[in-house]
Each structure stands twice: as C-alpha cells, then as structure tokens.
Amino acid sequence: MPVARHVMTHAAERPSRLAVRGPAAELTYAELADKVNGAARHLLRRGLRPGALVAIGLADPADLLTAVLAADLAGATPLVGDHAWDRGRWGQVMSPLSADVHVDGPLPYVAGPAVRGRARPGDLAWACFSSGSTGRPRAIVRTRASWTGSYPHLGELTGLGPDDVVLVPGPLVSSLYAFAALHTLAIGATAVVPGRWLGGETLAAHLAGATAVHVVPHRLPDVLRRPGRLRVAVVGGAALATDAREAAARAGVRVVSYYGATELSFVAVDVDGGGLRPFPGVEIEVRAAEPFGEVWARSPWLAEGYLGGAAGPLRRDGDGWVTVGDVAEPYRVGQVLRLRGRGGGAIQTGGATVVPEDVEEVLRKVPGVGDIVVIGSPHPSLGSVVTAIVEAEPAPPRAVLEAMARGGLDAAQRPRRWYAVPSLPRTPTGKPARALVAARLADGDPGIRRLV
C-alpha cells in the first residue's frame, strides 16, 4: 500500500500543495518528499535490505507516515503497530517473527541524493495487525498491487481527487484509517491526520476545512451534525441504516459505504443507498446459504496471508476464493449482498477488530460453561457488537460471566449481549456450528435464552 513514488511525483508537479496536516506540523508535498528521502537514506545506511521488515510504532501520525513511506522507498515492508506497545509486547505479537528494524521514534534525516527505489506491483509493501491492541494480533501482509490497484476504482466511486482535503479522524494503526491516509497521498490530495478521534468543537473545526472524510459507521452521526464543507463521507463497515443516509442527504453529504475485511480489502460497496454490490474486480459467493451462508470473495485485492504462518480466520479454497467467515443471506450475481454479521471471522465493532476465538478462550474458564460461541450481532451504529452464546445447563449468572470478561479481556472484546443454550449445534467434526448459531439467533430462535 505505501505510495512513496506517488509522493515524489506530486512533489515534482505540485511542490507547494499541502500533503499532511498533523497535530504538530504541516508538510507540503515538497517537504514530505524531502523528509521521506532523508529517512530512507538513514534506513539504507543502517544496512536495510530489500524485503526487510520494518516495525513502526509512532504516536505522531505525520512521523508515522514519513517512516512508512521511507521504508517503502528503501524497498522494505513496513509493519504498523500500536505506539503504546513496549518491546515486550512487540515481541509477543511478532512471535515467532522478528523485525529487521524497529522504529519507535521519528527517523533521523540523512542528507544526500534522492533514493531511487523501485516500486513493483508484487512487492510485499504493507503489513498491519488484524486486531490492533486487542487479543492476539495477527500481522497481515499485502502486495503493493493489492492496494494501489484499487485506487482508480475508489476514486471513480467517491469522486475524490487531488484538490480534496480529506479528514482521517482515527489512529493509523487501523488499516481502515491507514488506507485512507495513504490513498489521499497517492492521489495528491491533503490528508488531515489528527491520529485519534476528536469530538465536539475540535471535530467541527477539522470538518470546516475538509471536503471528504473516512469514518466508521458509529462516527457518521457526529460528522453530520456540523459537516462544514464536507461533500462525501466514505464509511467502512456494513450497510448503513436508512436514517443515517437520510441525515447525510439533509446535510448535503454523499455517503459511499463499503464492506470488507483487513484480509480481503474491498468486497462490496453501496454508492447510493441501494445496497451492497461487488466492488469493481470482485466476485462474490455465499456458500451453503440455507438459511444463511459464508461470504467468499475472489479478487485482485486480497492479502497474501499472515506473517509467520499465524492462524486466523482467513481461509482459502483451491480456486482463488477466500473467506473470513462472514455470514450473509443467499446471493446471486446481480443481487444486493445482505450481510447478517460475522461467523467464524473477526468481528468489526466500532472500528476495533475482535477475534472470536480469543474471547472464547477466556470465557470457557467460567465454571459450568461447557462450550461457547462468540459472534458479531448486527448493530445500527457500531456495525456489530460482540455476542456470547454459552452452552450450559443451568447457565452461570451474567454477573459471573462479565466478571471473567473484565478480568481477561480488553474493553472492545467484552461481550455486550449474552445468551445461553443447553446444547450448541455442531458440525460433523464436532465443532460448534458458528454460522448456524448466528442464523438461529438472527431468526429469534426461542431455544436461545437471553441472559439479563
């Protein structure tokens, strides 16, 4: 995904155009290109080789973008992590891998000639963690083409161009926000990167100068209260509720929402409120759809996989199709994709990614729990909420389950909804039938009892 060569081109053509506005500094394209070159020379002086892994954890988003682009220019693979992680935590999430270089401070500037790096489509040009600071993050790696090849399609769908000012109001450790910032630089626009969500008057001040914004669904209402010059909102998540689009229309803001996953990139997009349809270049299947099935996708935008051979929700068949376990209604080509939540794959909740297996491992320790299934239940503003279905008879009190969750899980991982069943449905191999549980819950199965 990194776009160092794009930045160098814009610096030559529009040097005074503002590239990045961060919390501490502003950089024109000429200034950004110079900083990136200087930082890349520093990395190369340290002996960085093509294909090396550069772990980057920086609080300031402008410094982070500079380091990412410098690693790209030097021919390395940047891996962005949480700036709050210490070396011990990095060691845990990287195991059994190790980074060739660890960047936890702004890269020094080294003077010299311009770095003449090569930017090939097949380069492993981007790596990020699938679940941020929650659970056991898995590092996902991508080729350059798997991101940058989608840029023209996104530009056509959203109308974003070099004269836009794009607000990216979230942490760049999130692949959603990192993609937004780097796409903005690729097209020569201005990326406004506060590095975190800013509410109230601060958000309004940022929106006053922005023409576009990338947000997760539950942040859209805040944006629409004082939209300023905003003309388009790009919303990453499942389909938006009708009232959200109606509010955007009243505010004069066009909404383009999309569904995808860190491992899959773009899968489907809704440009007008008519429903999710395949993103350009993407084929979609919903398999074993009785009454719901797993969403499988085949496209040029897929990730290569997990670094170090880590296990995760990504699964492949022999024909180029992949899934992360998302659940949808039956689907045929030409129809709208109707998602019904997450199955065996990661749960997207309020901008965080939660892996069900990580939550299940903790909650199985509760006395009296035979087994447990954790899924994502649709939510109108958060996208999904973490939902636990406990196999137990009788079921433990909800207070006991919540106490275990507080003691062993991060806030984003803790279930908001709790249910109990005497026995979970199982697959032929004896595993809980996660997709079937999700479908029964969605249909209001009276055999699944709500814990209050």
pLDDT tens string 185-200: 999 999 999 998 887 8
Mean pLDDT of the chain: 89
Are residue 163 and residue 256 in the same domain, yes or no?
Answer: yes
Q: Same domain for 236 and 361? A: no
Q: For residue 316, is it within any domain?
A: no
Query: DSSP character for 313?
Result: S
* DSSP per position, 240-295: PPHHHHHHHHHTT-EEEEEEEETTTEEEEEESSSS-BEEPTT-EEEEES-SS-EEE
Could you say which of 235, 270, 305 is where a domain stops?
270
Q: Is residue 159 part of a domain?
A: yes
356 prior amide bond cis, ω within 30: no
**Lookup result for tokens 């689009």:** 245
| Domain assignment of residue 297, yes or no | no
Residues 168 and 30 both lie in one domain: yes
**Mean pLDDT on 36-62:** 95
Name the pLDDT band for 216 (thresholds 50, 70, 90). Answer: confident
Domain identity same for 55 and 174? yes
pLDDT of res. 428? 42
Q: Is 185 part of any domain?
A: yes
Rounded Cα gap, residues 206 and 230, in angstroms? 10
- Over the stretch 358-370, which tens digit does the pLDDT of each residue have? 788 899 889 999 8
Arithmetic mean of pLDDT, 221-236 = 93
The span from the first CA to the last CA of the chain, in angstroms, equals 45
Residue 398 reports pLDDT greater than 70 = yes
pLDDT the model gives residue 197: 83
CATH code of the domain covering residue 148? 3.40.50.12780
Residue 137 has pLDDT above 70, yes or no: no
> Over the stretch 296-324, which tens digit does the pLDDT of each residue have?
999 999 999 998 877 788 899 989 999 98
Q: Do both 148 and 254 map to the same domain?
A: yes
Mean pLDDT of 117-123: 86
Its pTM stands at 0.78
Q: Distances in Å between the alpha carbon of 365 and those of 115, 360, 410? A: 54, 9, 16
Return the structure tokens found at 317: 């068949």
244 and 149 share one domain: yes
The answer to whether residues 42 and 136 belong to one domain is: yes
- Look up the CATH number of the domain holding residue 421: 3.30.300.30
ω into residue 96 within 30 of 0, thus cis? yes
Max Cα-Cα span within the chain? 72
If 0-12 CB within 10 Å is exposed, 13-18 middle and 19+ buried, where does residue 76 land? buried
Read off the amino acid at residue 218.
H
How many separate domains does the chain show? Answer: 2
- Structural domain boundaries, residue 250: 4-270
CB 216 within 8 A of CB 350: yes
Please tell me the distance from the alpha carbon of residue 232 to that of residue 248, in angstroms, as a whole number: 9
Residues 360 and 240 both lie in one domain = no
Asked if residue 330 is part of any domain, the answer here is no
Enter the tokens of residue 27: 């950089």
Q: Which of 250, 270, 290 is the last residue of a domain?
A: 270
66-80, 123-137, 221-235: least confidently modelled range:
123-137
285 in any annotated domain? no
| Residue that the structure tokens 């022999």 belong to | 318
Q: Give the separation between CA 209 and CA 36, rounded to whole angstroms.
A: 26
Q: Is 350 part of a structural domain of the chain?
A: no
- Domain end marker among 270, 291, 316: 270
- Please check whether residues 253 and 383 belong to one and the same domain: no
Contacts of 423 (CB under 8 A, 6+ apart): 391, 393
**Band of residue 183 on the pLDDT scale cut at 50, 70, 90:** very high
224 and 97 in one domain?
yes
Place of tokens 């920086």: 58
Confidence of residue 225 (pLDDT cuts 50, 70, 90): very high
Give CA–CA dist 289/313, Å, rounded: 19
Classify 417 as helix, strand or coil.
strand
359 and 251 in a single domain? The answer is: no
Residue 126 lies in a domain: yes
> Tens of pLDDT along 102-112?
999 999 999 99
pLDDT on residue 136: 59
Q: Residue range 387-407: average pLDDT?
A: 94
- Residue 82 near residue 44 (C-beta atoms within 8 A): no
